[in-house]
Structure 1
Amino acid sequence: MNMLLFSLIFLLATSVVATDTDLPSLSNVTAAEAFVEASEVAVIGFFETPSEETLGYKEFVEAARNVRPIPVALCSDKEAWAKFSVVSDTIALFRKADKHQENLQLSGIKKIEADGLTRFITMNEIRFLTEYNQVTAVGLFQSEVKTHLLLFVNRGSADYDELKDKLAALAQEFVGKVTNSSGRTPVPEFLFVLIHGVKSNEKSLGYFGLTSRDLPRVGIYDSNSDMKWLMPDGEISTERVREFCRSFLVGNLKDVKQAGPPDRKTEL
């Protein structure tokens, strides 16, 4: 066995410890950072004493089973707590799409239930391309990133999978381009959102003057200005969508007619 392979096995053995809950235990900062970095969305339960008697622990373990395949782990290492600004038992969700950490401090919850922890995770699960629904809408509109690149598409259409993969890959080009309000953490210029042409999304489509028969289409919604645009009809290629995004960023869309009915203000 060569030295590099031996070192890697040793690091994994000492950093991630199996537990009787089937959740990995992250024993140091390096392991915790690697766990977060490895996935689009990751969840860590920071428990000082992870046991059946600890407030919220059993409920967290059950919630972890409910949200598979989202990666979930435990961490009691105080250096890792300090790294992620955790001061007491906390459930933390990490999103790569907008470089965000969402904390749920357990001491501040009146009644801890597994269903509530499950909902906290699912409603904050934002990915490089996030499917829009009533649950994910919470995380999307609470995000510090207020500009959304929207893919309107009918599920099951011939080009559905291709368009999803194409835009999910493109979304990663816009991650970490600007700083957030604190001036420190890089955040993306857009959140990429998938909106299916179904009855529950008629309001969103109508806001852009669309029906399911018009799809697929691509649009931009900027909640700061409550303005919206549709990319001109035609092939939805990576190059065209990239240029559409750049046109917004340099201000060229300000003089372009908005999509949909005029003077209609609503959330998607």
Structure 2
Amino acid sequence: MQIGLIIFILVSCVSAKEKDVTLPRLNNTKAAEAFINSAEVVVIGFLEQGEESHGYKELLAAATRVDSVSVAICALKEVWVDYGIKSDTITLFRKVDNHQENLVVAEADEIKVDGLVNFIIVNELRYMTEYNQVTAVGLFNSEVKTHLLLFANKGRKEFNELKAQLGALAPEFTGKFLFVLINGAEDSNFRSLRYFGLKSKDLPRVGIYDGDSDMKWLLPEGEISNERVRDFCNAFLRGELKEVKEAGAEAKTEL
């Protein structure tokens, strides 16, 4: 009898907890703006019926699986107008390239949790994005085609230090460069290193890849300071990088 009562209490607590879980609501434009500015990447479900909307439960489930991205909902159409939303839409906002990626729920017959998780992860670009097969899709779909590349070996002391250092520099070049971290200790990134004529033992190094011209440059060996990297980026933007290496026959769609 006691065991049965304990199980009942536990199940009741879990059910109550699941029932109480909801996404925060954005009730005006000011709240929406504050939410979008609160992190590098956020997602808003512009859903007219709120928690009763088609796709809400799936968005809630996706939010619990991608806990690195904050998710909220907005049911007020007067707010939707500010973001060009006309019908139920799940939208990802990211600061790195001032991009807004829309997934129109109203046009989908079925919304799947796995699909929403993939939508978020693929488009989750940050000021410093670590390169892999998933993030590659978002990186090369971005309107910003120039990448500042940090090649470093994960496991080495300088890996996290340089990641944080250049990540702090990246906001200065919003909309001009995507800052990308490439782990030279990962076998799958061997092609990326070879593309720049590098080997794992040569790292850390910094390079620039320009997708529009399909050309690449390497920062000369030496200290990787924010001052040197900033000058390197600005020299590119001014068209002053003279020692150009063409990308050759390597595929444009993959580093």
TM-score > 0.5 by shorter chain: yes
**What is the Cα-based RMSD across aligned positions, in Å?**
1.4
* SS of residue matched to 1:135: helix
Q: Which has the larger radius of gyration?
A: 2
Matched, 1:204 2:192: yes
Aligned twin of 2:12: none
Deviations 1:44-72 (A, max 9, x none): 011100235x3211111100111103111
1:44/1:75 contact within 8 Å kept: yes
Contact 1:207 1:264 (C-alpha < 8 Å) held by counterparts: no
TM-score by length of 1: 0.84
Are 1:41 and 2:41 counterparts?
yes
- Among all aligned residue pairs of Structure 1 and Structure 2, give the percentage whose two residues are the same amino acid: 58
Q: Report deviation, 1:111.
A: 3.0
Shift of 1:122: 0.5
Structure 1 counterpart SS, 2:133:
coil
Q: Tell me the CA shift for residue 145 of structure 1.
A: 0.4
User: What is the aligned partner in structure 2 of residue 128 from structure 1?
Assistant: 127
Q: 2:215–2:244: 8 Å Cα contact kept in structure 1? A: no
CA contact (8 A) 2:208 2:216 kept: yes
**CA drift at 1:80:** 1.2
Pairing partner for 1:241 from 229, 246, 253:
229
Q: Which structure 1 segments of 5+ residues have no match?
A: 1-18, 176-187
Q: Show CA shifts across 1:59-101 (max 9, x none).
A: 1110011110311101101121111111111110000110000
- Kindly state the Cα deviation for residue 189 of structure 1 after the two structures are TM-superposed: 1.0
Is 1:97–1:127's contact at 8 Å kept on the other side of the alignment? yes
> What SS is found at the alignment partner of 1:25?
coil
Shift of 1:264: 2.6
1:251 aligns with 2:239: yes
Q: Which amino acid aligns with 1:201?
A: N
The CA distance in 2 between the partners of 1:80 and 1:128, in whole Å, is 27
By how many angstroms is 1:156 displaced?
Answer: 1.5
Give 1:46's aligned amino acid: F
Q: Distance in 1 between matches of 2:119 and 2:157?
A: 34
Partner residue in 1 for 2:164: 165
Tell me, which stretches of 5 or more residues in structure 2 are unaligned?
1-18
Distance 2:111 2:79 in 1: 24
2:215 equivalent to 1:223: no
Distance, in Å, in 2 between the alignment partners of 1:22 and 1:55 is 15
**DSSP-derived class of the 2:157 partner:** coil
The letter of the residue matching 2:215 is M
Match of residue 78 from structure 1: 77
Whether the 8 Å CA contact 1:29–1:77 is kept in 2: the answer is no
Q: Which amino acid aligns with 2:228?
A: R
Question: Deviation above 4 Å: which 4+ runs of structure 1?
Answer: none
Q: For residues 208 and 65 of structure 1, what CA distance do their matches in structure 2 show?
A: 39
| 1:247 CA displacement | 1.1
TM-score when normalising by structure 2: 0.88
